[in-house]
């Protein structure tokens, strides 16, 4: 059987699949040519990440397909229910990238707390002529220890983010409409383990109490954070979105920063990918990355291995 990893797959996944007798095709096929390519090559498994969309046209016109796999958590680029109604298996890897996303959130938080996102823009340009000026500008940093991290969405990634925060000595508040409480297991290098029980509170309480807010929710039909939510936040707050583009109202975010309702924000995902709005890209109060939450070697190895294991189990 043939597996088309259209958006790529880690070598760990390729090796696992090939050992099980599968042929792995790493060709990147253009979206409008996928149906023809899948049919001509009798592809049984189509693996995607965020770039390739698997809609009804592919599902209806590719009779050889048996499995659609998403290397990651969200499956908003796949017509999941329709695929299942047509007898296809749809798989993903919800836990494999959790820690990588959590670490990226904290890369942004550390950077914003010490103005690294802005300093790294300005120092290469004028660090020699404005050193003392920059030193004064960036001298009002804050520590994360002792601050409150608010989590909107407290599933796997939200809980992984909480673990990092607990290790730093932060306070955690969380909102999740589907969860009343979570037990967080924090493992240390010497195999000691501590458990923390965290009860969820209302979204409004999280917004009001938090020094830093991080979103960990699936794609939504409406904004999770917009004007009224920014109005509830501390004017010293930072907000991070490493979840899905469209869960934060980007226009309202810019206005909230300009009006002093919040201090800044970080975005790894955008409403318009791969062409984010220029107002976001040029704003010195925003820390930005190009949708790289799961882009670590460790996470991709876990994703590849997990996808391969599921495919082998289903088709064996």
What angle separates helix 156-167 from helix 98-113, to the nearest 10 degrees? 50
DSSP 269-280: S-SSSSS--HHH
Count Cβ atoms within 10 A of the Cβ of residue 226 and give its class: 0-12 exposed, 13-18 middle, 19 or more buried: middle
Cβ atoms of residues 298 and 105 within 8 Å: no
Active site residue 273: yes
Alpha helices in the chain (DSSP H): 11-19, 34-41, 56-61, 80-85, 98-113, 116-126, 131-137, 156-167, 203-209, 227-232, 250-258, 278-281, 297-315
* Rounded-to-integer distance, Cα 212 and Cα 109, Å: 8
Q: What is the DSSP letter of 6?
A: T
- Considering the candidates 244, 250, 302, 306, report the single residue annotated as catalytic: 244
Active site residue 70: no
Q: What is the DSSP letter of 147?
A: P
Tokens representing 304 are 């590849």
- Considering the candidates 99, 156, 216, 291, report the single residue annotated as catalytic: 291
- Considering the candidates 23, 258, 273, 313, report the single residue annotated as catalytic: 273
Active site residue 108: no
* Active centre residues (catalytic): 244, 273, 291
């Amino acid at each position: 059987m043939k597996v088309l990893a259209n958006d790529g797959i880690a070598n760990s996944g390729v090796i696992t699949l090939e050992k099980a007798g599968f042929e792995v095709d790493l060709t990147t096929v253009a979206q409008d040519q996928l149906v023809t390519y899948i049919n001509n090559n009798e592809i049984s498994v189509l693996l995607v990440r965020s770039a390739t969309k698997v809609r009804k046209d592919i599902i209806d016109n590719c009779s050889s397909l048996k499995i659609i796999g998403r290397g990651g958590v969200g499956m908003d680029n796949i017509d999941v229910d329709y695929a299942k109604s047509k007898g296809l298996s749809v798989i993903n890897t919800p836990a494999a990238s959790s820690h990588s996303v959590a670490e990226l959130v904290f890369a942004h938080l550390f950077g914003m707390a010490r103005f690294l996102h802005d300093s790294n823009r300005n120092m290469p340009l004028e660090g020699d002529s404005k050193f003392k000026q920059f030193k004064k500008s960036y001298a009002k940093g804050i520590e994360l220890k002792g601050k409150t991290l608010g989590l909107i969405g407290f599933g796997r990634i939200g809980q992984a983010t909480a673990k990092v925060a607990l290790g730093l000595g932060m306070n955690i508040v969380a909102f999740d409409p589907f969860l009343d409480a979570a037990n967080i297991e924090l493992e240390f290098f010497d195999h000691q383990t501590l458990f923390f029980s965290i009860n969820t509170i209302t979204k409004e309480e999280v917004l009001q109490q938090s020094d830093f807010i991080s979103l960990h929710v699936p794609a939504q039909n409406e904004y999770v954070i917009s004007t009224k939510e920014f109005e509830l936040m501390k004017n010293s707050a930072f907000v991070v979105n490493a979840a899905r583009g469209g869960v934060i109202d980007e226009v309202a975010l810019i206005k909230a920063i300009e009006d002093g309702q919040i201090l800044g924000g970080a975005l790894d995902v955008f409403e318009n990918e791969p062409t984010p709005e220029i107002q976001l890209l040029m704003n010195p109060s925003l820390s930005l990355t190009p949708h790289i939450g799961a882009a670590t070697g460790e996470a991709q190895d876990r994703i590849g291995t997990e996808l391969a294991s599921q495919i082998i189990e289903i088709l064996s």
